[in-house]
Amino acid sequence: MINIAVLGYGTVGSGVVKVIDINGEVIARNTGQEVNVKYILDLRDFPGDPFEYKIVRDFETVINDPEIKVMCEVIGGVGKAYEFTRRALEKGISVCTSNKELVAKHGAELLALARENNCSYLFEASVGGGIPIIRPIMEALTAERIESVSGILNGTTNYILTKMEREGADFAEVLKEAQAKGYAENNPAADIEGYDPCRKIAILSSLMMGKNVDSEKIYTEGITKVTAADFAYAKEAGYTIKLLGQSKAQGDEVLAMVAPFMISKDHPLAMVNDVFNGIFVTGNTVGDTMYYGRGAGKLPTASAVVADVIECAKNVGQTIPCFWDQEQVALADISQVEWKYFLRAKASAKADVEAAFPGGRVIAVEGCEDEFGYITEAIVEKDFAEKYEALSDSILSRIRLA
Amino acid sequence: MINIAVLGYGTVGSGVVKVIDINGEVIARNTGQEVNVKYILDLRDFPGDPFEYKIVRDFETVINDPEIKVMCEVIGGVGKAYEFTRRALEKGISVCTSNKELVAKHGAELLALARENNCSYLFEASVGGGIPIIRPIMEALTAERIESVSGILNGTTNYILTKMEREGADFAEVLKEAQAKGYAENNPAADIEGYDPCRKIAILSSLMMGKNVDSEKIYTEGITKVTAADFAYAKEAGYTIKLLGQSKAQGDEVLAMVAPFMISKDHPLAMVNDVFNGIFVTGNTVGDTMYYGRGAGKLPTASAVVADVIECAKNVGQTIPCFWDQEQVALADISQVEWKYFLRAKASAKADVEAAFPGGRVIAVEGCEDEFGYITEAIVEKDFAEKYEALSDSILSRIRLA
């Protein structure tokens, strides 16, 4: 039997306890031993909870119990979570987490600490919820030089965009509904401004490069400016709009960004709807691979945490290797990248737009005669920005094409 | 440095040598040691090949060299491949393979042999080519009770069906073209009759159940009867047609089959086109996950074999666990399963079809006035078969709906 502690009894924490409870038999088979949740650390009361008797309030109880071999850090944030993780790893206790903020910010440092203390720091659940993505990158694609990673990394925004597309509704309206249903937080900035997918693409980029990619340096644009009208034009042109995290190895640099993109309806990511996530990983010999599943949610995320617990249980006393050094990777300058752009502009500016971006394609949508859609030829971001600036009074939207 | 031997210098074998050659540096980083191909076993001559000097003709040279720790069996078939694999495992040499025929037929036995001799038998490349699918099932989803596995498991037939859909072409015509391009074999039965995906679903089913699922007992139907007309009706009704391998745990039994299915254009598998494969794995807490990538091809398949080699290199002297016992799983009776069916029938039989399958939906396609399409309500396979039998002179096609 292996004893573990769950730090934080919120959504994911209670999911971890539940997954271990309902799948105990399968886990025992796969681990060769039973996994026992000895402590649940939380400051709150949970009267009537079936696992109430396991709840402790003091981290010292947990850290000083030599029976504890693995901790699940599902507190979130970079305060107590960071402190507890460091203290556990320093004592040789492995830590499994879903905390993307902490992994993005201190992942390389915590991995080094785990190596020094012959234990492991695992974070499968920090990207893509229940989708196995960290492990395939680390193991199954281990014979590969990974060239790029991109995808739909945030379930809340994908839910909002899917609903906007299907119902022709505007952003604010759908956000309100998503908040009412609990799919979006009361303070939704982390999702809708793209901070959450930014942390995730930073983690994936770091694994791809084997070195640290600073999430704070990644160009990040959310979905707040995407409109129902944009979707109408996208549909007319055979596209949809998705919030993508993208990362591409360019020699020693990495080109990483988060932004809404128009993608062809034929692209496999166009099928990734609602709260689902889909992540493309391209290797130099395997080509494109994609991983799809529920990117969030109590049980899917908890399932990924528990898979990591099992991995730690099988490797007590040793470090599961993860190549993510503390050395910083330089970020490539996105102003030098070439894209096609979708523009929506006032009808009165049609001649100006066509002159500024020659060779593009006009898209007309019925009932929108006072404006028009336009897809430019490929143009360097910097050149586009200059021309866009000059026309900004007439341009209503601009979205890159992936 | 770890020395390996590649048995068979055909498409996959030469791919393995190439992947190790071009990704040597990444592999050394991930393995902590260099992987060296010491021997390539093949009876043929390869004059001028850059690795000609590594080619040996006698298996005894390979098996008697104590430096060889891992063999890649990429010969195919169940003759020499089986013999060499047994002899290697008996000597404690790990074996990695892409040979689905051998894995489906003798997987459980070879895994047991590996366990007895403290080595490993790995077969990531046997299903889904370069897509990591065996490892996610074995590891990342290890906290899960896997409830079902289904997907597009054969690249050749998916290429043919995609072309039929896009070009409105008939099966025989597209097959000929695929053969000319080398996408289909001269003897295409293994693909078009569904034997290849049958072996793959047997392997996946065995891993899901932890026991042996006999591929020869799996109901298997190929794509030879699918017509251009079927695609026209499918399109009209918002569907496409895919050859699916399906497997579902039902208590101690497994419901497994391979057949063409109509699937909604909104289903993520509808996006899996050309030679790509897509595999859905549903777990009791994680829900649906999907894995997508090139299901065949020299380098993608080789990449998966090399990933297994790396895993073996990291675990010399021990067995990488795989729960697939030799005990046989009973197959559920598919005649008791309920599906909706698509029918294409002569216009003269419309009243009879509607009477036999009440409550269905008629689909009309322009230019096909002498026939009609029909989607029945859900009906048990056995009941359907009886009614179908009575109407068989008038029914031109019948395809299940997934």
* Residues B112-156 pLDDT 10s: 999 999 999 999 999 999 999 999 888 877 889 999 999 999 999
- Non-local (6+) Cβ contacts of A290 within 8 A are A151, A268, A269, A278, A279, A280, A281, B290, B291, B292, B293
**Least CA distance to B311: which residue of chain A?**
A139
Residue A20: CB atoms within 10 A of its CB come to 23
The verdict on B162 touching A (C-beta cutoff 8 Å) is: no
> CA B76, B79, B84: angle at the middle one, nearest 5?
80
Kindly indicate the confidence band of residue A356, based on its pLDDT and cuts at 50, 70 and 90: very high
Closest C-alpha among A125, A275, A145 to residue A210: A145
Contact check, Cβ <8 Å, B286/A306: no
Q: Considering CB atoms only, which of B23, B145, B266 is closest to A144?
A: B23
Is-catalytic flag, A200?
yes
Q: Which of residues 335-374 of B touch A (CB under 8 A)?
A: none
Taking only Cα atoms into account, the Rg of chain B, rounded to an integer number of angstroms, comes to 23
Residue A258 predicted with pLDDT over 90: yes
**B47-74 burial code (b ≥16 CB/10 A, e <16):** eeeeeeebbeeebeebbeeeebbbbbbb
Does the pLDDT of residue B111 top 90, yes or no? yes
Q: How far is B368 from B3, CA to CA, in rounded Å?
A: 63
User: One of A54, A200, A211, A242 is an active-site residue; which one?
Assistant: A200
Q: Are strands A253-264 and A276-283 parallel, antiparallel or unpaired?
A: unpaired
Can you tell me the mean pLDDT for A6-18?
97
pLDDT in tens, A309-341: 999 999 999 999 998 999 999 999 999 999 999
The CA distances from residue B128 to A101, A278, B133, B197, B268, in Å, are 34, 18, 7, 10, 17
Q: Which amino acid is at B213?
A: V
Helix (H, G, I), strand (E, B) or coil at B346: strand
Radius of gyration of chain A (CA): 23
The half-sphere exposure of A148 on its side-chain side, counting CA atoms within 13 A, is 14
Strands A68-73 and A2-7: parallel
Q: Which tokens in the block code for residue A84?
A: 């507890």
Asked if B72 and B309 touch (Cβ cutoff 8 Å), the reply is: yes
**A143–B272: do the CB atoms touch at under 8 Å?**
no
Percentage of chain A exceeding pLDDT 70: 100
- Tokens 């013999």 map to which residue? B83
Alpha-carbon distance of B198 to B217, in angstroms, equals 10
* Residue of chain A whose Cα is closest to the Cα of B35: A143
CA distance B84 to chain A (A): 25
Please give the Cα distance from B125 to B105 (Å, whole number).
Answer: 16
Mean pLDDT, rounded, for B302-331: 94
Stated as kind and residue range, the H or E segment containing A2 is strand A2-7
**Of residues A32, A290, A303, nearest to B293 (C-beta):** A290
Average pLDDT of span B274-287: 95
B131 touches chain A (CB under 8 A): yes
CB contact under 8 A, A299 and B291: no
- Amino acid code (one letter) for A400: R
Average pLDDT of the residues in A347-354? 96
State pLDDT tens for residues A28-38.
987 788 999 99
Q: Does residue B306 have a pLDDT over 80?
A: yes
**DSSP assigned state of B357:** S
Residues 6+ apart with CB under 8 A from A401: A239, A261, A262, A263, A339, A340, A341, A342, A375
Query: What pLDDT is attached to residue A297?
Result: 86
**Residue B23 to residue A311, Cβ atoms within 8 A:** no
Residues A93, A87: Cα–Cα separation, whole Å: 9
**Residue A185 pLDDT:** 86
Are A85 and A121 contacting, i.e. CB atoms less than 8 angstroms apart? yes
Enumerate the residues of chain B whose CB falls inside 8 A of the CB of residue A131. 289
- Put simply, whether A24 touches B (Cβ < 8 Å) is no
Q: Could you tell me the pTM of the whole model? A: 0.94
Q: Determine the residue among A14, A138, A142 to mutate to test chain B binding: the one whose Cβ has the most chain B Cβ atoms within 10 Å.
A: A142
* pLDDT reported for residue B384: 97
Q: What percent of chain B has pLDDT over 70?
A: 100
Give the pLDDT confidence score for residue B39 in this predicted structure: 98
CA angle A382, A386, A387 (to 5 degrees): 120
- Please tell me the predicted confidence (pLDDT) of residue A181: 86
The pLDDT > 90 percentage for chain A reads 91
User: Would you call B208 helix, strand, or coil by DSSP?
Assistant: helix
The residue type found at A329 is: V
Best A20, A149, A286, A292 member to test B by mutation, with max B CBs in 10 Å, is A286
CA-nearest residue of chain A to B281? A293
Q: Which residues of A touch B270 (CB under 8 A)?
A: 271
Is residue A328 helix, strand or coil? Answer: strand
Query: What pLDDT is attached to residue B295?
Result: 86
Q: Which of B284, B292, B310 sits opposite A289 (nearest CB)?
A: B292
Using a 10 angstrom Cβ sphere, with 0-12 exposed, 13-18 middle and 19 or more buried, the burial of residue B366 is exposed
Query: What are the chain A neighbours of B267 within 8 Å (beta carbons)?
Result: 271
Q: Does B132 touch chain A (CB under 8 A)?
A: yes
Does position B60 have pLDDT exceeding 90, yes or no? yes
* pLDDT score, position A368: 83
Judge contact between A89 and A113, C-beta under 8 A. Answer: yes
Q: Do B23 and A294 touch (CB under 8 A)?
A: no
How far from each other are the two terminal CA atoms of chain A, in whole angstroms? 49
B77 pLDDT above the threshold of 90: yes
pLDDT score for B181: 86
Does residue A290 belong to the interface with chain B, where contact is any CB pair within 8 Å? Answer: yes
pLDDT band, very low/low/confident/very high, at B68 (cuts 50, 70, 90): very high
And the tokens for A312? 């730690």
Give the Cβ contact number of residue A147 at 10 Å.
16
The yes-or-no verdict on residue A183 having pLDDT over 90 is: no
**Exposed / middle / buried, residue A112 (Cβ in 10 Å: 0-12, 13-18, 19+):** middle
The candidate with the shortest Cα–Cα distance to B274, out of A268, A264, A144, is A268
Please give the mean pLDDT across all residues of chain A: 95
Contact: A285, B292; criterion CB under 8 Å:
no
A268 touches chain B (CB under 8 A): yes
| A284–chain B Cβ distance below 8 A for any pair | yes
pLDDT for B6: 98
CB pairs under 8 A between A and B: 194
B311 close contact with A: CB closer than 8 A: yes
Cα(A361)–Cα(B345) distance, rounded to whole angstroms? 44
Q: Average pLDDT for residues A279-293, to the nearest whole number?
A: 95
Contact A290 B291 (CB under 8 A): yes
Picking from B267, B288, B310, the nearest residue to A142 by CB comes out as B310
Residue with tokens 């014979």: A143
Mean pLDDT on A173-185: 90
pLDDT category, B367, cuts 50, 70, 90?
A: confident
Question: Which of B23-32, B94-103, B288-297 ranks highest by mean pLDDT?
Answer: B94-103
Please judge whether B285 and A141 are an interchain contact, meaning their C-beta atoms are less than 8 angstroms apart: no
The mean pLDDT value of chain B amounts to: 95
Q: Which of B38, B69, B163, B200 is catalytic?
A: B200
- Supply the DSSP symbol for B319: P
Tell me whether B272 touches chain A (CB under 8 Å).
yes
- A150 contact B CB<8A: no
Q: Which of B395, B344, B391, B351 is nearest to B365 (CA)?
A: B344
Q: Between chains, do A124 and B140 touch, taking CB under 8 Å as contact? A: yes
For residue A19, give the nearest of B23, B143, B307 by CB distance: B143
Provide mean pLDDT across the span B266-290.
94
- Positive or negative, the CA dihedral A329, A332, A334, A339 is negative
Between CA A283 and CA A280 the distance in angstroms is 10
Distance CA A42, CA A126 (A): 21
> What is the C-alpha separation between B387 and B397, in angstroms, rounded?
14
Q: Is A115 on the interface with B (CB under 8 A)?
A: no
For B144, which DSSP code?
S
Closest residue by Cα to residue A50 from A21, A7, A84, A92: A21
> B303 and A23 in contact by Cβ < 8 A?
no
A285 to B300: CB separation less than 8 angstroms, yes or no: yes
Q: Which residues contact A366 (CB under 8 A, 6 or more apart)?
A: none
- Spell out which residues of chain B touch residue A307, defining contact as CB-CB under 8 Å: 139-144
Could you tell me which chain B residue has the CA closest to the CA of A312? B139
How high is the ipTM of this complex?
A: 0.92
Contacts of A20 in chain B (CB under 8 A): 143
pLDDT above 80 for A140: no
Phi and psi at residue B68, to the nearest 5°: -80, 120
Name the closest residue on chain A to residue B308, using Cα atoms: A140
Predicted local confidence at residue B140, as pLDDT: 75
DSSP E strand stretches across A143-300: 146-152, 219-220, 239-250, 253-264, 276-283, 287-294
Determine the pLDDT at residue A344.
Answer: 97
Q: Does A11 touch chain B (CB under 8 A)?
A: no
Q: How confident is the model at residue B183 (pLDDT cuts 50, 70, 90)?
A: confident
Is pLDDT of A367 > 90?
A: no
Q: Apex CA A242: angle with CA A241 and CA A243, to 5°?
A: 135
The answer to whether residue B271 neighbours chain A at the CB level (below 8 Å) is: yes
B289 contacts chain A (CB < 8 A): yes
- What is the maximal distance between C-alpha atoms in chain A? 74
